[in-house]
């Protein structure tokens, strides 16, 4: 079997499947494990949402799904790892040491409430929520409890889950890691799962999110701009570059409100915008102020609900939008909130960094699992040779490996060369235009010209007789990626 140079990820999956099938028949004592590896190749990509307690994981998950499935804050269920996957109708099951059990639930005002029926949360290894949501067809999202610190109980549960002990199969293909500010524990947690076998640790399958971004500038109207600046700084921080693909600012709460805020709630804020400007500014000065202001004609429960749904930043953005005349309806408000929250940008980034490599990431998880089984039990030589061949000859993996190397250190390259190489290798998206560093509106001939220029530049870099081996390997990979993109254009 040979893996041709520009195989699509589709055929890569086929090669991995052929290998797993061979192993299943040749190593019958591990047939069950191979069956589950094969099954998983056909399933959606698994993406976990990780980060410390209260980082905003559950809220972000709801914002991504456009539905309030995950409970936020305390509550027993938030302590259990929960999988959200596609199903024809809403259903909840729990996994316990004694097997799978149905779990009862109710839906109130679009919010899912799970009832453990008196059982201890500790009895469950995970909950599975099935929902008929389009977004879940291609991706399974996994909410993790998070860790207050790396030593607490729940922390141990999350870390176990994300960094399975040796001998266990990798659980997820990719991770969205939420960090609020650069806390020592954030970085040490990231290191912890990069140190061990976790979906084969690599920055290429881990995206950072600067979460609760609206709180960055204490709710000021320019909060998201400040958050973007901070996220950009994190993205280029050498410590974080080594661990995540990039950092995107997101206000999950605002994103969640963009699907759940009612017309009535929007109308309440519209009423505030009709007040004298000085009056409304005073009411929205601080959370305390807003809650104690009895003169704006909105009762305290509604004020509390507004704050809970939007935070101070969201309230101010919507009030300013009504005041300027930009907003005239509840639908306008929800559209503005979606844009402001950064959720659309996160969606696009996920599509670029995970979506474009969905099959490669799945193939990779499967190969890591097969490799582990091969270390445990004797396999036919043919199987290990096949594994070697797939690892070595699929350029997709070379790209992932090379991107990791580049993110780990700059190999002494100038910054513009470093970024050019990363782009060509698909670090900013795997389309030919993204690889050429051009806008998606660029014409094929513009993309072709740019790719030719990049190739010629990297040929010169690679041919330099005093170039270090890692630089020659890099230039080879860059040229190969450009050739692949070139072929795709034809």
Q: Write out the residues near ligand GDP by the rule CB under 6 A.
A: 51, 53-59, 72-73, 146, 212, 214-215, 251-253, 311
For strands 104-108 and 111-115, give the pairing.
Answer: antiparallel
- Say whether 200 sits in a helix, a strand or coil: coil
Report CA-CA distances (Å) from 55 to 182, 186, 275: 12, 10, 35
Contact in structure between 58 and 153 (CB atoms under 8 Å): no
* Shortest distance in whole angstroms from residue 264 CB to ligand GDP: 20
* Shortest distance in whole angstroms from residue 199 CB to ligand GDP: 20
* Shortest distance in whole angstroms from residue 156 CB to ligand GDP: 16
Task: Give 59 or 475: the residue with its C-beta nearer to ligand GDP.
Answer: 59
Task: Give 73 or 490: the residue with its C-beta nearer to ligand GDP.
Answer: 73
Q: Give the integer Cα–Cα distance in Å for 305 and 307.
A: 5
For strands 247-249 and 206-210, give the pairing.
Answer: parallel
Q: Give the integer Cα–Cα distance in Å for 447 and 488.
A: 11
Task: Give 45 or 251: the residue with its C-beta nearer to ligand GDP.
Answer: 251
Task: Give 94 or 314: the residue with its C-beta nearer to ligand GDP.
Answer: 314
For residue 251, the partner it binds in ligand GDP, Mg ion, none, with Cβ less than 5 to 8 A by kind, is ligand GDP
**For the chain, how many residues are written?**
490
* Shortest distance in whole angstroms from residue 105 CB to Mg ion: 16
Task: Give 56 or 321: the residue with its C-beta nearer to ligand GDP.
Answer: 56
* Shortest distance in whole angstroms from residue 74 CB to ligand GDP: 8
H or E stretch at 331 = helix 330-341
Task: Give 57 or 228: the residue with its C-beta nearer to Mg ion.
Answer: 57
What's the maximum distance between 2 C-alpha atoms anywhere in the chain? 80
* Shortest distance in whole angstroms from residue 104 CB to ligand GDP: 22
* Shortest distance in whole angstroms from residue 112 CB to ligand GDP: 14
Q: Residue 207 — φ and ψ, nearest 5°?
A: -115, 135
Instruction: Match 């599975």 to its residue by tokens.
Output: 128
- Say whether 114 sits in a helix, a strand or coil: strand
Q: 236: which 2 tokens?
A: 């280029």
Contact in structure between 262 and 329 (CB atoms under 8 Å): no
Using only C-alpha atoms, what is the Rg of the chain? 25
Task: Give 338 or 364: the residue with its C-beta nearer to ligand GDP.
Answer: 338
* Shortest distance in whole angstroms from residue 361 CB to ligand GDP: 24
* Shortest distance in whole angstroms from residue 483 CB to ligand GDP: 43
Q: Give the integer Cα–Cα distance in Å for 332 and 321.
A: 9
Give the distance from CA 22 to its chain's centroid: 33
* Shortest distance in whole angstroms from residue 77 CB to ligand GDP: 11
Task: Give 58 or 67: the residue with its C-beta nearer to Mg ion.
Answer: 58
Task: Give 256 or 481: the residue with its C-beta nearer to Mg ion.
Answer: 256
Task: Give 3 or 250: the residue with its C-beta nearer to ligand GDP.
Answer: 250
Nearest to 478 by CA among 374, 398, 362: 398
Task: Give 94 or 311: the residue with its C-beta nearer to ligand GDP.
Answer: 311
For residue 245, the partner it binds in ligand GDP, Mg ion, none, with Cβ less than 5 to 8 A by kind, is none
Task: Give 73 or 120: the residue with its C-beta nearer to ligand GDP.
Answer: 73
* Shortest distance in whole angstroms from residue 148 CB to ligand GDP: 10
* Shortest distance in whole angstroms from residue 135 CB to Mg ion: 18
Q: Residue 20 — φ and ψ, nearest 5°?
A: -65, -35
For residue 432, the partner it binds in ligand GDP, Mg ion, none, with Cβ less than 5 to 8 A by kind, is none
For residue 216, the partner it binds in Mg ion, ligand GDP, none, with Cβ less than 5 to 8 A by kind, is none
Q: 276: which 2 tokens?
A: 């004298």
For residue 316, the partner it binds in ligand GDP, Mg ion, none, with Cβ less than 5 to 8 A by kind, is none
Contact in structure between 48 and 172 (CB atoms under 8 Å): yes
- Say whether 102 sits in a helix, a strand or coil: strand
For residue 428, the partner it binds in Mg ion, ligand GDP, none, with Cβ less than 5 to 8 A by kind, is none
For residue 333, the partner it binds in Mg ion, ligand GDP, none, with Cβ less than 5 to 8 A by kind, is none
For residue 350, the partner it binds in Mg ion, ligand GDP, none, with Cβ less than 5 to 8 A by kind, is none
- Say whether 327 sits in a helix, a strand or coil: coil
Contact in structure between 54 and 146 (CB atoms under 8 Å): yes
For residue 252, the partner it binds in ligand GDP, Mg ion, none, with Cβ less than 5 to 8 A by kind, is ligand GDP
For residue 140, the partner it binds in Mg ion, ligand GDP, none, with Cβ less than 5 to 8 A by kind, is none
For residue 365, the partner it binds in ligand GDP, Mg ion, none, with Cβ less than 5 to 8 A by kind, is none
Q: Residue 208 — φ and ψ, nearest 5°?
A: -90, 145
Given CA atoms 362, 367, 373, 375 in this order, what sign does their dihedral have? negative
For residue 170, the partner it binds in ligand GDP, Mg ion, none, with Cβ less than 5 to 8 A by kind, is none
Q: Give the integer Cα–Cα distance in Å for 327 and 258.
A: 14
Alpha-helical regions (H) of 394-443: 395-408, 415-424, 432-436
Residues of this chain that interact with Mg ion (CB under 5 A) are 57-58, 78
């Amino acid at each position: 079997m040979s893996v041709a140079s520009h195989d699509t990820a589709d055929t890569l999956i086929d090669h991995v499947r052929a290998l797993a099938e061979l192993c299943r028949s040749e190593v019958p004592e591990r047939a069950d494990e191979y069956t589950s590896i094969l099954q998983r190749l056909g399933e959606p990509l698994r993406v976990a949402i990780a980060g410390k307690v209260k980082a905003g994981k559950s809220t972000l998950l709801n914002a991504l799904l456009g539905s309030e499935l995950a409970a936020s804050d305390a509550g027993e269920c938030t302590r259990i790892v929960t999988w959200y996957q596609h199903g024809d109708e809403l259903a909840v099951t729990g996994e316990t040491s004694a097997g799978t059990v149905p779990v009862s639930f109710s839906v109130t005002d679009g919010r899912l409430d799970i009832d453990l029926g008196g059982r201890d949360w500790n009895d469950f290894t995970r909950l599975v929520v099935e929902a008929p949501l389009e977004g879940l067809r291609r991706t399974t999202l996994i909410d993790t409890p998070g860790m207050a610190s790396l030593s607490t109980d729940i922390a141990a549960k999350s870390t176990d889950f994300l960094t399975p002990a040796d001998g266990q199969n990798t659980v997820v293909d990719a991770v969205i890691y939420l960090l609020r500010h650069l806390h020592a524990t954030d970085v040490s947690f990231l290191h912890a799962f990069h140190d061990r076998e976790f979906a084969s640790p690599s920055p290429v399958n881990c995206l950072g999110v600067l979460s609760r971004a609206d709180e960055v500038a204490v709710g000021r109207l320019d909060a998201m701009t400040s958050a973007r600046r901070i996220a950009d700084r994190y993205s280029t921080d050498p410590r974080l570059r080594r661990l995540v693909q990039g950092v995107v600012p997101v206000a999950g709460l605002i994103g969640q409100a963009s699907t759940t805020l009612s017309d009535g709630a929007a109308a309440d804020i519209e009423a505030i915008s009709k007040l004298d400007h000085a009056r409304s500014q005073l009411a929205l000065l601080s959370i305390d102020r807003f809650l104690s202001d009895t003169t704006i004609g909105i009762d305290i429960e509604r004020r509390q609900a507004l704050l809970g749904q939007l935070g101070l930043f969201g309230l101010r953005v919507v009030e300013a939008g009504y005041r300027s005349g930009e907003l005239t309806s509840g639908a306008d408000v929800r559209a503005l909130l979606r844009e402001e929250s950064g959720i659309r940008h996160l969606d696009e980034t996920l599509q670029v960094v995970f979506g474009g490599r969905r099959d490669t990431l799945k193939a990779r998880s499967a190969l890591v699992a097969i490799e582990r089984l091969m270390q445990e039990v004797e396999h036919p030589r043919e199987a290990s040779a096949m594994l070697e061949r797939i690892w070595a000859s699929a350029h997709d993996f070379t790209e992932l490996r090379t991107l990791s190397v580049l993110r780990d250190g700059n190999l002494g390259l100038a910054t513009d060369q470093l970024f050019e190489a990363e782009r060509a290798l698909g670090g900013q998206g795997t389309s030919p235009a993204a690889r050429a560093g051009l806008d998606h509106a660029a014409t094929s001939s513009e993309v072709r010209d740019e790719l030719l220029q990049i190739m010629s530049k990297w040929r010169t870099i690679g041919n330099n007789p005093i170039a270090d081996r890692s630089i020659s390997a890099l230039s080879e990979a860059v040229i190969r990626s450009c050739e692949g993109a070139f072929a795709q254009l034809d």
